[in-house]
Amino acid sequence: MTIPLFLLWTAGLQGACSLNGYRPQPGLTAESASDGVRITWQGERGDTLRAVFGVDAGQPTVRELAVRRAGARWITLATAVQPEFEVKSGLRRISNQQLSPLKELGLDNPETIEREKWNVFWDAPLQVPGATRTNPGLPRKPEEIRVAKSSFRSPACSVRTREARIEIDFTGLELGIFSGSLRFTVYKSSNLLRQEAIAKTEEPSVAYKYHAGLRGFSLPAAQRVVWHDVANSPQKYEFGGAPNKDGVPLRARNRIAIVDTGAGAIAVFPPPHKFFFAREIELNLGFVWYRKDTPTSFAIGVRHGDHEEMYRPYGRGDEVWNRRLGQARSFAQGNFALYNAPPGAWQRMAAYYYLSAENTETTRRRVLAYTHNDTFKPVPGYKVAISHFHTHFNELLADAGSIDIQPQWLPTFRAMGINIAMMSDFHGDGHAKDEGALRFAEQKIYFDGCRRHSDRDFLLMPGEEPDAYFRGHYTMVFPRPVYWSHIRKPGAPFTETLPDFGKVYRVADAKEELDMLQAEGGLVWQAHPRTKGSSGYPDAIKDTAHFRSDRYLGASFQSLPVDLSQQRLCESRCFGVLDDMNNWGAPKFMIAEGDTYQKFPEDDTFSHLLVNYIRLDRVPAFDEDWSPILQAMRKGDFFVTSGEVLIHSAAVYGSEFIADVEWTFPPDFVEAVWSDGSKIGRTIISAAFEPAFLRKKYVVPFNSKGKKWVRFAAWDSAGNGAFTQPVHLP
C-alpha cells in the first residue's frame, strides 16, 4: 500500500511546534516538549496552569490540561483531548418588515437590499419551509441547510506571545463551506483557556451557527458532568447510560457545565454576550452540551439550538390566551436569525474553559465572577436602566382582574440589579389606536400597575413604542404618567381635561406629537435604527423639526446583527448610526434597549441584554418627578455596557481622554473615537497586557483641534464592552 505524501509529512513533524513568535515573560512561558509545546502560566489566586499541545496525524491535540495550587502538587484535569466544531448554515434573506419602509422611501433597489439583508432580525434560515410572509423567497428548501463537522490537516502549531497572553495556532481547519485555522489562547492572571475556529467562507448569503468543544475525556478519570438547571438546582450526569449519537443539550443556569475530575474541575461556557444573536425572547435553549462517545470517553462544549421555542402564553379567557399563543408561535417560526458570514469575513467561533483545582461549586462561583454572577454590578453615583420591553403589562393586569398580580418578568429584572425599567406597552396589546376613553382607561391600568410594583430602589416607567407620526419605529418616555392618544377625530381638541384622567392629549400629526413632548418634558429615540421597521431611519428624518429637536435623544443600541468577524458588539450598524447622527448636527446618543417580550426568572436574560448606567444619586419614587432621569439622559450622562466592563468616570481633559475602567475578563483595548464633522478617526490603546479583574485609569491622547466630538469605549477579550456618549467640543 502506498502511504500518501501528506501523511508521511505530518508523521515526520508530529508534535513539532514553532516558537518563533514567542517572547518570554514572567508568569507566561512556552517551551518545546517531546510531543509538542508546553505552555505554563500564572493564574488566579496563586494558581499555576499548564497545557501541552501537539499534532497527531494532522489532528490538533491537547495532550494535557493541569493546574497547581501554590505550594501544592500538579493536578491533571484532562489528557489527549481534541477540539471539534460543527457548523450548520442556511441562506440569509432580508425580511418583509425591512422591505416595507425601504419601499416607502424608494430604496428597495438590489444594491440596498443586498446591503440591508445583513441587518435582518426576522429571519430563521434553518426553519423549513419558513413562516409565511416573513421573508421574500420562501418557502425555504431542505437543500439550503448544510451541516459540517471539523476536520484538520495541521502539519504543526505555532506559538506567539501577544502582550499578556499566548496564542497557539493550528492551520488546516476545514469546516464545510468554511476554512481557516484553530487557535487556543491562555491569559496571564486568569485560569481561562479560549478555543476558537477562525474561518471564513466565500459563498454569498450565509447565515450560520456553531457548536464547539473538546472530545476524548476519559472515564472514569473524569467522573461526571455537573450543572445547575434553570431553577438553579444542582444536576449531574455520571455517564452510566448508553453512548450518545448526538450532543445532549443542557439547559444550564448561567450557561455553565463543569467536568468533575474528583481532584479538580474544568468548566465550559460560551462568550457571555457575543455568542448570542438577537431574539424576541430569552428562553434557555441549552447553550452547553455533553456527549458520551464510548463506554470510556465523552465530549463537552457549547452550542446553539436549531430553532426558537414558544414562550408560555397566558390568559384567563380564550381571547387573550389565543392571542398570546399565536404570538408565541409566530416568534418560534419566524425569528432565529443566527450569525452573519459575509464572504471573506473571518468568523471567530469561540468556547471558554476554566481550569480549576477546586471542587465544582467553587469552580462555578469562580466562573460567575466574570459576569458578576450574571448581574449588573452597582457603581456609586449611577443607576442601572433598561428600556423597550413589550411584556403586555396592561393586558396581563386587566386579564387577571387585579393590579396586585406580580408579573413574571419583574423578579427577572430585579435579580439582575436593574433600578429603572422603561416599559413599552401597547405594542400588540391594548387598543393603541383608540382615540379616547378606551385607551385612556387602559393607560390608567398601566400607570397604576407601574405605581404598585415600583419600590424604593426600583422604578417602572410606563413608556411606549407608538410608531405614530415621527416615522420608523421609536420609543417615548415622559417624566410622569401622561395620557395621550395617537388619533384625533375631526373637531376634537388637542388637549382637554377629563374627570377620570386629568389632562389628556390627542395627537394628529408630527408637530403636535413634538408639541406634547416639549410641553411634558418627554424624550423620544429611534428604535432599532437601520433595521426592522426602522430600515432607512433615522437617515430619512434627519432634517425634520422633531429629529433636530432636543427632545429627540438619538437611537437605540442592541446587539443586532451579530457578525463574529467584528471586534465590537453591533460594530457597523449601531456605531455607524451613532457617529452619523453626531456628524449631522447637535448631540445625539445611543440608549441600550432590550426590545424583547415575555420573560421568566428561568430565562437566560442576562446574556441577551445590554444596559445603561445613568448618573443619578437615587431613583425617584413613582409619584415623584422623574425629570432627573431624563435630564441625565439628555445630557448624555450615561454609559452603555454588557456588564463585564464598567466605566466609573470618563472625560476630556485638554489633549487627553481620561477614563476609569473596571474589567472582569482579560482586557483587549480602549479607544477614543472622534470626528471632525465628516471623517471618523480613532486612537486605540491596547490593554492586552493587563490582568483580569482589574480597575485602572486610562489616558488616551486626543488632539481636540478641528474635532467636533469624541467618545470613549473599552472592549475585553471575550467581546464584552462599554462606551460613553459623544461629547461635543467647543
Please say if the pLDDT value at position 402 is more than 70. Answer: yes
Pairing of strands 347-356, 206-218: unpaired
Contacts by 233-238, CB closer than 8 A, 24 or more apart: 234/361, 236/260, 237/290
Q: Is the CB of residue 145 less than 8 Å from the CB of residue 128? A: yes
What is the identity of the amino acid at 147? V
Mean pLDDT (whole number) for 7-32: 74
pTM for the full model?
Answer: 0.96
Residue 247, pLDDT > 60, answer yes
Question: Given pLDDT bands bounded at 50, 70 and 90, which one contains residue 542?
Answer: very high
Looking at residues 432-457, what average pLDDT do you find?
A: 95
Query: For 178-204, what is the mean pLDDT?
Result: 98
CA of 497: how far to CAs of 165, 494, 567, 574, 683, in Å?
66, 11, 53, 41, 55
Q: Is 93 exposed, middle or buried (0-12, 13-18, 19+ CB in 10 A)?
A: buried
3-state helix, strand, coil split of the chain in percent (to 5) is: 20, 35, 45
Residue 654 burial class via C-beta count within 10 angstroms: exposed 0-12, middle 13-18, buried 19 and up = exposed
CA distances from 398 to 394, 401, 598 (A): 6, 5, 16
CA distances from residue 118 to 91, 475, 567, 621, 622 in whole angstroms, order as listed? 11, 24, 17, 42, 41
Distance, in Å, from the CA atom of 546 to the CA atom of 525, rounded to the nearest integer, reads 10
Checking if the pLDDT of 12 tops 70, the result is no
The pLDDT score that the predictor gives to residue 309 is 96
Burial 686-697 (b: 16+ CB within 10 A, else e): ebeebbbeeeee
Helix or strand or coil: residue 533? helix
396: pLDDT strictly greater than 90: yes
Query: Residue 34: pLDDT band by 50, 70, 90 thresholds?
Result: confident
Predicted pLDDT of residue 2? 36
> Radius of gyration (Cα) for the chain, nearest Å?
27
Q: Is residue 6 predicted with pLDDT exceeding 70?
A: no
Q: What is the mean pLDDT of the chain?
A: 95
Cβ proximity of 196 and 204 under 8 Å: no
Q: What is the pLDDT of residue 3?
A: 33
Which residue in this structure is represented by grid cell 507566561?
28
How many C-beta atoms surround the C-beta of residue 237 within 10 A? 16
| Alpha carbon distance 398, 431 (integer Å) | 13
List CB contacts of 365: < 8 A, sequence separation 6 or more: none
pLDDT of residue 655: 87
Which pLDDT score is estimated for 271?
A: 98
Instruction: Write out the three cell numbers for 176.
Output: 464545510
Q: So what's the pLDDT on residue 172?
A: 97
The confidence band for 1, taking pLDDT boundaries of 50, 70 and 90, is very low
Per the CB < 8 A criterion, the answer to whether 135 and 93 are in contact is yes
Look up residue 296 and give its DSSP letter: T
CA-nearest of 384, 451, 454, 421 to 599 is 421
pLDDT on residue 16: 75
What pLDDT, on a 0 to 100 scale, did the predictor assign at position 499?
A: 94
pLDDT at 222: 84
User: Where does the pLDDT of residue 362 fall: very low under 50, low under 70, confident under 90, or very high at 90 and above?
Assistant: very high
What is the average per-residue pLDDT within 375-399?
Answer: 96
- What pLDDT band is residue 14 in, cutting at 50, 70 and 90? very low
Q: What percent of the chain has pLDDT over 70?
A: 98
| Nearest partner of 510 among 550, 484, 547, judged by Cα | 547
Would the pLDDT of 5 be above 90? no
Amino acid at site 46: G
Q: Which of 200, 215, 247, 216 is nearest to 349 (CA)?
A: 200
pLDDT digits (tens, 9 = 90+) for 606-643: 999 999 999 999 999 999 999 999 999 999 999 999 99
Kindly state the DSSP code that residue 644 receives in the 8-state scheme.
S
What structural domains does the chain harbor? 5-88+148-305+339-367 (2.70.98), 92-138+311-334 (no CATH), 381-643 (3.20.20), 644-730 (2.60.40)
Say whether pLDDT at 22 is over 60: yes
| Max CA distance (Å), the chain | 96
